[in-house]
C-alpha cells in the first residue's frame, strides 16, 4: 500500500451497533470525524498516513500494536463491504487504540520529568516505619484476617480511623472552596461504563472485580462520575463542570514487593476524587488546576513532595498527559505515589457519548479531567512517617480541629484475633 492509497469503505446502513462515540485518537482525527456517526461514514477519509501516525503513537506508548490487524480488516472490507463479522472485528480493534500523546512527552522515553517541591535537605531523614508506629499505638490490624476479609485488607482503630475521616473532611472543605460540587456515587457499575473510562474488564491481568450479575466494583469514583454524564448533551455556557466524590475503591491488583507491603497496596480503600468536563480549549488549564489543588492539599500536611510529569509509557490507554505526585516516606526511605491527575481529552467522552453544544449551535465532544484529591492508605503512611517528634506523631495544624487533638495517642489494647482453620463436616 502506497502512502497515498485511500481505503474506500462505506459501512452498511443497517449496522446500528457501530457508534462513533467509542473512538478517540487525535493522531487519526480524519478517521473519526467529530460527531458524525460511523454508520454514515465514508472511510475514504482513512489513508496510510493516518494509520502510520496511529502506529507511531502506539509504539511510543509501548502498547500492543494492532494497526497491522486493522489494515488487514480494512482490506477485506474493501472486497466485501457488507461483512458484519469484519465490521465487528474492526470495531473491537479500533476500541484498543490509545489516546494521543502530548508533544512535550515525545522525548521522555520511559523516564518522567521530575520537579522537587520541597527542601532537598529534608530528604533522607529517617523515622519509624508506619506499621511499627501503628503497632506501638494499637491503631492498625492487617494480620490474621484471612478467614473473613482475605489478604490485603485492614482495620483502622481509634485515632487512625478518626484521621481517615479528618482527611476526607479537610479535603472536601478545600474542594468546596474551589467550587466543586459533591456527589455521592454508586460503587457497582455496568462493565461498559468502566471500559468507557479506559479500564478493561476482561482478561487475566485486569484490575477489576466482577460480580456474578456481570456488573463490576468500581476502581475509582471517576468511573461513576463519568457514567453520570454519559449520553448527555451539555451547554457550553455550563462548562467547565467540576464535581467530586468520596467512595470506596476496589482493585484486584496485588504486589509482592517489599516496599509495597502493608496498606501501601490494598484491595479496597477510600478516596476523594476530582472530575471535570470541559471544552478542548479548557482541558490543559483544568489539568494544571487539578495539579495545583493536589499540591496545596498535601503541602499543608507537612509532606515532602515531588511532581512527576509522566512519560508516554505510563499514560495507560486514556490519558493524553498525566502528573503523578509522590511523597517522601522517611520510615520506608522511598518515594511513594499519593496522587495523580490526567487529561483524557475526548477519549472517555467519545466512548460514553458526552457532548456539548457550542454557543454557535455546533455539537462537540467534551473533554474529561480526573485527579486524586486524597487516597487514604498511602496518605496515612506519609503522614505518620513525616510528622514524628520523638515517640509522638504530631497532627498537622489543618487537621487539629477535625481531631480535637494535636498528638495521636496510644489506643487501648485491641483484643487479638486468631486464624482458625475451617473443618468440613463429614457427610
- Which residues are known binding-site members for L-serine? 220, 251, 273, 370
10: DSSP letter: B
Between β-strands 392-394 and 113-116, what pairing exists: parallel, antiparallel or unpaired?
unpaired
Which of 403-408's residues contact partners 24+ apart within 8 Å by CB, and which partners?
A: 403/159, 403/162, 403/163, 403/166, 405/159, 408/137, 408/139, 408/159, 408/160, 408/163, 408/384
Residues making up the annotated binding site are 220, 251-253, 266-269, 273, 337-340, 370
Quick count: other Cβ atoms within 10 Å of Cβ 115? 11
SS3 content of the chain, % helix, strand, coil (to 5): 35, 20, 45
Calpha distance 339→288 (Å, rounded): 14
Residues making up the annotated binding site for ATP are 251-253, 266-269, 337-340
Cβ atoms of 15 and 31 closer than 8 Å: no
In sequence order, the 6+-apart residues with CB closer than 8 A to the CB of 275 are 221, 222, 225, 226, 242, 243, 244, 245, 368, 369, 370, 371
Cβ atoms of 374 and 302 closer than 8 Å: no
Beta-bridge partners for 343: 321, 369
Helix (H/G/I), strand (E/B), else coil: 275: strand
- Cell numbers at residue 179, please? 467550587
Rg from Cα positions in the chain: 24
Cβ atoms of 224 and 217 closer than 8 Å: no
Amino acid at each position: 500500500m502506497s502512502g497515498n492509497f485511500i481505503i474506500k469503505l462505506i459501512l452498511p446502513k443497517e449496522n446500528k451497533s457501530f457508534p462513533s462515540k467509542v473512538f478517540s485518537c487525535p493522531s487519526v482525527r480524519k478517521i473519526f470525524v467529530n460527531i458524525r456517526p460511523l454508520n454514515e461514514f465514508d472511510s475514504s477519509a482513512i489513508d496510510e498516513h493516518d494509520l502510520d501516525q496511529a502506529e507511531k503513537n502506539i509504539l511510543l506508548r509501548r502498547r500492543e500494536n494492532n494497526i497491522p490487524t486493522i489494515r488487514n480488516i480494512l482490506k477485506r472490507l474493501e472486497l466485501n463491504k457488507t461483512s458484519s463479522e469484519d465490521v465487528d472485528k474492526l470495531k473491537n480493534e479500533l476500541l484498543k487504540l490509545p489516546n494521543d500523546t502530548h508533544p512535550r512527552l515525545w522525548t521522555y522515553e520511559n523516564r518522567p520529568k521530575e520537579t522537587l517541591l520541597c527542601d532537598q535537605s529534608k530528604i533522607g531523614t529517617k523515622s519509624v516505619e508506619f506499621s511499627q508506629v501503628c503497632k506501638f499505638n494499637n491503631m492498625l490490624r492487617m494480620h490474621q484476617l484471612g478467614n473473613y476479609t482475605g489478604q490485603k485488607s485492614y482495620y483502622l482503630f481509634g485515632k487512625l480511623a478518626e484521621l481517615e475521616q479528618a482527611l476526607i473532611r479537610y479535603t472536601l472543605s478545600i474542594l468546596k472552596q474551589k467550587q466543586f460540587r459533591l456527589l455521592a456515587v454508586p460503587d457497582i457499575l455496568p462493565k461498559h461504563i468502566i471500559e468507557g473510562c479506559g479500564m478493561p474488564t476482561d482478561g487475566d491481568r485486569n484490575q477489576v472485580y466482577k460480580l456474578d450479575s456481570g456488573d463490576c466494583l468500581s476502581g475509582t469514583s471517576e468511573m461513576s462520575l463519568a457514567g453520570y454524564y454519559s449520553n448527555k448533551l451539555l451547554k457550553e455556557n455550563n462548562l467547565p463542570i467540576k464535581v467530586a466524590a468520596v467512595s470506596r475503591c476496589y482493585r484486584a491488583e496485588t504486589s509482592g514487593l517489599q516496599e509495597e507491603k502493608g496498606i501501601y497496596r490494598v484491595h479496597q480503600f477510600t478516596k476523594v476524587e476530582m472530575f471535570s468536563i470541559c471544552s478542548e480549549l479548557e482541558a490543559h488549564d483544568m489539568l494544571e488546576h487539578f495539579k495545583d489543588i493536589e499540591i496545596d492539599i498535601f503541602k499543608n500536611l507537612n509532606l515532602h513532595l515531588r511532581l512527576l510529569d509522566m512519560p508516554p509509557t505510563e499514560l495507560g490507554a486514556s490519558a493524553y498527559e498525566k502528573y503523578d505526585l509522590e511523597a517522601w516516606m522517611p520510615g520506608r526511605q522511598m518515594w511513594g505515589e499519593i496522587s495523580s491527575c490526567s487529561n483524557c481529552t475526548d477519549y472517555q467522552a467519545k466512548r460514553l457519548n458526552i457532548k456539548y453544544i457550542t454557543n454557535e449551535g455546533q455539537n462537540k465532544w467534551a473533554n474529561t479531567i480526573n485527579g486524586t484529591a486524597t487516597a487514604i492508605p498511602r496518605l496515612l503512611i506519609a503522614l505518620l512517617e513525616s510528622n514524628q517528634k520523638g515517640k509522638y506523631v504530631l497532627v498537622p495544624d489543618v487537621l487539629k480541629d477535625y481531631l480535637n487533638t494535636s498528638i495521636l495517642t496510644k489506643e487501648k489494647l485491641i483484643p487479638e484475633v486468631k486464624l482458625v482453620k475451617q473443618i468440613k463436616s463429614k457427610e
